[in-house]
Amino acid sequence: MTQAATPSLAQLEVWPGKAYPLGATYDGSGTNFAVFSEVAEKVDLCLFDADGGEIACITLPEVDGFVWHGFIPTIEPGQRYGYRVYGPYDPAAGLRCNPKKLLLDPYSKAIDGSFNWEQSLFSYNFGDPDSRNDDDSAASMPKSVVINPYFDWGVDRPPGHEYADTVIYEAHVKGLTQTHPDIPENIRGTYAAVAHPVIIDHLKALGVNAIELMPVHHFANDSTLIDKGLSNYWGYNTIGFLAPDSKYSSSPNPGGQVQEFKAMVRALHEAGIEVILDVVYNHTAEGNHMGPTLSLRGIDNAAYYRLVDDDKRYYMDYTGTGNSLNVGHPHSLQLIMDSLRYWVTEMHVDGFRFDLAATLAREFYDVDRLAAFFELVQQDPTVSQVKLIAEPWDVGPGGYQVGNFPPQWTEWNGKYRDTVRDYWRGEPATLDEFASRLTGSADLYEHTGRRPVASINFVIAHDGFTLRDLVSYNEKHNDANGEDNNDGESHNRSWNCGAEGPTDDEEVNALRGRQQRNFITTLLLSQGVPMIAHGDELGRTQQGNNNVYCQDNELSWIDWETADTDLIEFTCTVSALRAAHPVFRRRRFFSGSPVRKRGGDGLPDIAWFAPDGSEMSDEDWDSGFAKSIAVYLNGQGIPDLDDRGQRVTDDSFVLFFNAHHEPIEFTLPAEQFSATWVVEIDTAAASDEEAQNYDAGAQVSVDARSVLVLRSETLNGK
């Protein structure tokens, strides 16, 4: 895209234009501008040159249904712009219009520049929050950009993977690509880098077919972090719900990030990899009543934000960030829904993970599963058809809502994370819940008519320890964040295996390696949808920092030069086993009943065994000290049909889990389950060891803190 020609004032004709769509829409002959404000008395559109100089300020000529609009024939892609909204300024009444504050278009499809955190961005004078500041903010503001909407998608189409067949990889655009030696330096850390063949080949080798990108909506770097020499690395501070962030673009042109993002999606789709966006619709970067006036606050504060009923100068804060979006207002809801549809229809993304999604359900004070937002998503013919993943909690009252989202939704299963961590660090009384998490968390999802895929299983996410750090540290080490190690979660359910941090102790390091393999095996062979956090497959460390939200540096980036290639190979092996065997990817919950229909073998679809080979009794399940269990998965008991309507069958498996600190002798099930078993995965063995066969009823030694996976050689064997 080339830089837009700067229009002269004499060339600027202004036509009435249209009230829809909102935002700046280029149609090949000019650009329509439309912005909603119910409280505005006048709205000016301001145009800027490449140096940030204001070259024109035009009053939008029409207003329909509180949407101010106009069409300018000579405005082309690349043009920078912003709004000035005239209206009442009365913070106590929730009104914060101030035409001296240049405002970003809420529907910006691209944003150019960065914030210069000076007094002019704030509508009050520092030290006196009840005062009014009328310094002009234009010079300190980034600018919205008119984009070229046209792109050659070729034959692009969504991969459309079923949830049950999906392996998600949570990644940060920069953190994933910044240090990779095979990516050209000029594109590292960008959308183009994510699309580079070395990244795509790595993902495909892992069996990943969906990448979940941490926030790429344009976000603001917090002034408090900048003052400390840090930055908002994670990006959970959105200020542009339709704009891909220019910080991840290698393009020098204003608006070029849009084309680069689309090219990334196209390349990933060609490789069969879906693109899921981590989106932040619960709050914005404008913060609380002491925050800056950047966009929504100055356009229509009360329409876009939840205000305190008895004193509207203050904001309801269910997010811990200062404000919460007002999902009870139709135009706030429209902004969210228009954004979602835009990313699906124009940017071709395949799904969304909603940050602090419980906030979106708050119409009043309680979390309402049937709030207006979820009703809109349910009936929307576009948004309802993509992957919808909730982070099912926020910081407000009753905010932990795991298992309570509508049937159409999947959820980050925090209980899976906590239970699996507790099991492998040897906590007592976790065996029964571990079994539930391993089999899809029916206790959380079955009552709402959902299936195992409602559970997005994860042990590690961006927020917390990496997998390597989970087995290397008992305590967080966040001193680099400048908060005296007071930030971040203190209860990590981690275990350092006998030494805090790096050590030369060979036994400790061997145990740490085995524990990482245990977590990877458990995650990938659990029912539900597995999510791998980027770099966990290669031993990424953050040196014990469990809250790198402000660390845009080597501490948070993947170090590709020190990758643990053995761990990568192991992860690929387990992922390939999952992909090859539908018994690990069931679409329905286990029943525990004998399989007699449709040519079944009369055995239960699942069975649990104590180490002595007997089926688990109530007493066994209630034994708080038990840490070892075997589970039989019947490949003849899968109640799923393939695309041709044929019954899905598979080999049968026995998985032995031993979280005890000593080896355990297990007795294999009797011959009716299988005559012969062969080792597929042993987290305690060297990768080059020859697979061993076992006969029915044989004694099998499972090493301390390890997983052993055996496959049937006879029932439906290979």
Give me the phi and psi of 484, to 5 degrees please.
55, 35
CA triple 486-540-414, angle to 5 deg: 60
Instruction: Give the number of C-alpha atoms closer than 13 A to the C-alpha of residue 614, restricted to the C-beta side.
Output: 7
Give me the phi and psi of 329, to 5 degrees please.
-100, 135
Give yes or no: 355 in active site.
yes
Q: Which of 260, 278, 391, 650 is catalytic?
A: 391
CA triple 505-510-512, angle to 5 deg: 95
Give me the phi and psi of 240, to 5 degrees please.
-145, 100
Q: Which two tokens stand for residue 94?
A: 């929730």
Q: Which of 112, 355, 411, 620 is catalytic?
A: 355
**Distances 383 to 360, 408, 630 between C-alpha atoms, Å:** 15, 11, 41
Count each helix (H run) and each strand (E run) in the chain, helices first.
Answer: 15, 29
169 membership: H or E segment, kind and range: strand 168-171
* 201 Cβ neighbours under 8 A, 6+ residues apart: none
Quote the CA–CA distance of 140 and 101 in Å, as a whole number: 10
Contact 611, 628 (CB under 8 A): yes
Quote the CA–CA distance of 417 and 435 in Å, as a whole number: 13
Backbone φ/ψ region at 346: left (φ over 0), alpha (ψ -120 to 50), beta: alpha
**Distances 330 to 22, 93, 337 between C-alpha atoms, Å:** 14, 20, 10
Quote the CA–CA distance of 110 and 216 in Å, as a whole number: 12
Decide: helix, strand or coil at residue 416.
helix
At residue 679, what is the residue type? Answer: V
Quote the CA–CA distance of 29 and 591 in Å, as a whole number: 62
Give me the phi and psi of 11, to 5 degrees please.
-85, -10
Only one residue has tokens 């240090």, namely 179
**Distances 632 to 438, 583, 604, 677, 683 between C-alpha atoms, Å:** 12, 11, 9, 12, 18
* Of 57, 70, 64, nearest in space to 30 by CA: 70
CA triple 274-277-283, angle to 5 deg: 170
Q: Count CB-CB contacts under 10 A for residue 534.
A: 25
Whether residue 184 is preceded by a cis peptide bond, meaning omega within 30 degrees of 0, is: no
Outline where DSSP puts E strands in 453-605: 455-457, 529-533
* 326 Cβ neighbours under 8 A, 6+ residues apart: 302, 303, 304, 305, 306, 307, 332
As a three-state string, the secondary structure of 131-166 is CCCCCCCHHHCCEEECCCCCCCCCCCCCCCCCHHHC
For the chain, the first-to-last Cα distance in angstroms comes to 55
Quote the CA–CA distance of 382 and 93 in Å, as a whole number: 37
Rounded to the nearest 5 percent, the helix, strand and coil shares of the chain are 25, 20, 55
Only one residue has tokens 């992909």, namely 579
600 membership: H or E segment, kind and range: none
Q: Which two tokens stand for residue 328?
A: 């009870």
Give yes or no: 650 in active site.
no
Directed axis angle between helix 506-525 and helix 414-424, to 10°? Answer: 140
Could you tell me how many residues make up the chain? 718
Catalytic residues: 355, 391
